[in-house]
Amino acid sequence: MSQFHEQQDLPSHLAIIMDGNGRWATNRGVPRQEGHRQGVETLRQSLKDVMRAGIKCLTVFSFSSENWNRPKAEVTFLMTLLQRFIESDLAELHGQNVRVRVLGRRQDLPPKITKLIEHAESLTADNTALQLQVAFNYGAREEIADAASRLARRAVAGTLDPASITPEVFDAELLTAGLPDPDLIIRTSGEYRVSNFLLWQSAYAEFFFTETLWPDFTVDDLDQALHAYAQRDRRFGGLSNQQERER
């Protein structure tokens, strides 16, 4: 297998916008639900591939704040899928030393799912092989507004000086507090947009877009993305090593 060249520069944090389940199903003349079901299978396999590649932190986008705009039956199905995923895979994830966290607004989710999420998070809290974040009912603007609201409340209560709010202080209020920023964001299905995902955290992320629909995503797609990432010249506003040498 040619995958995962040992010395290549790996992202500390990989994020994936898993898009294209509906089109995958439509292309096969089956209900959209089938695409979502297959999408979960792909996620299972990708988790293994990501760990094998040596990546320690992975965030996957599985339900956005805006996905409530879909037909009720599809929304209900997606809730059930998350529930089933936690129920059937938690023990194995825990056995593989994976720390699971769910990012998003909890208060809008059915109480049964909230309980499951809390159980999954506390069970795996000390695991260290992979930090897995599932963004579910997640929207970056909501995340940022909620962080601002909490800081404002502390300022009004007199426990926070507004002048002390730096990017670092703000960052610590986000759902991703304590995690490195995503170095690489993959979006599948040939859509070239961010769709309200990790807006703050992606300030210097590299993006990789592929036409592959999420249910068709394989280790080869992952390998391509990681290879492309390793070739990128990340300057963070400064100069590259090459440019420094030419000065």
* Catalytic residue list: 19, 67
Residue 212 in contact with Mg ion, rule: CB under 5 A: no
From the list ligand IPE, Mg ion, none, which binds 195 (C-beta under 5 to 8 Å, kind-based)? ligand IPE
* DSSP codes, 21-47: HHHHHHHTTS-HHHHHHHHHHHHHHHH
Q: How many Å apart are CA 9 and CA 225, to the nearest integer? A: 12
Residue 197 in contact with Mg ion, rule: CB under 5 A: no
Residue 117, phi-psi category: left (phi > 0), alpha (psi -120 to 50), beta (remainder): alpha
Nearer to ligand IPE, 173 or 216 (CB): 216
Nearer to ligand IPE, 83 or 195 (CB): 195
- Least distance (Å) from ligand IPE to the CB of residue 149? 24
Nearer to ligand IPE, 63 or 207 (CB): 63
Angle at alpha carbon of residue 46, lines to 44 and 47, rounded to 5°: 70
Residue 166: phi and psi, rounded to 5, are -105, 170
Say if CB 86 and CB 117 are below 8 A apart: yes
- Least distance (Å) from ligand IPE to the CB of residue 233? 28
Q: How many Å apart are CA 181 and CA 201, to the nearest integer? A: 5
Amino acid at 108: D
# binding residues, Mg ion (CB under 5 A) = 1
From the list Mg ion, ligand IPE, none, which binds 193 (C-beta under 5 to 8 Å, kind-based)? ligand IPE
- Least distance (Å) from ligand IPE to the CB of residue 39? 6
Helix (H) or strand (E) holding 59: strand 57-64
- Least distance (Å) from ligand IPE to the CB of residue 42? 11
Nearer to ligand IPE, 70 or 94 (CB): 70
Nearest-CB residue to Mg ion? 19
- Least distance (Å) from Mg ion to the CB of residue 24? 10
Q: How many Å apart are CA 47 and CA 66, to the nearest integer? A: 25
CA dihedral 189, 190, 191, 192 (to 10 degrees): 140
Centre a 10 Å sphere on the Cβ of residue 109 and count the other Cβ atoms it contains: 20
Where along the sequence are the contacts to ligand IPE (CB under 6 A)?
Answer: 17-23, 61-64, 67, 78, 189, 191, 193, 195
Contact positions with Mg ion (CB under 5 A) in 10-49: 19
SS3 of 61, please? strand
Nearer to Mg ion, 19 or 143 (CB): 19
Residues within the interface to Mg ion (CB under 5 A): 19
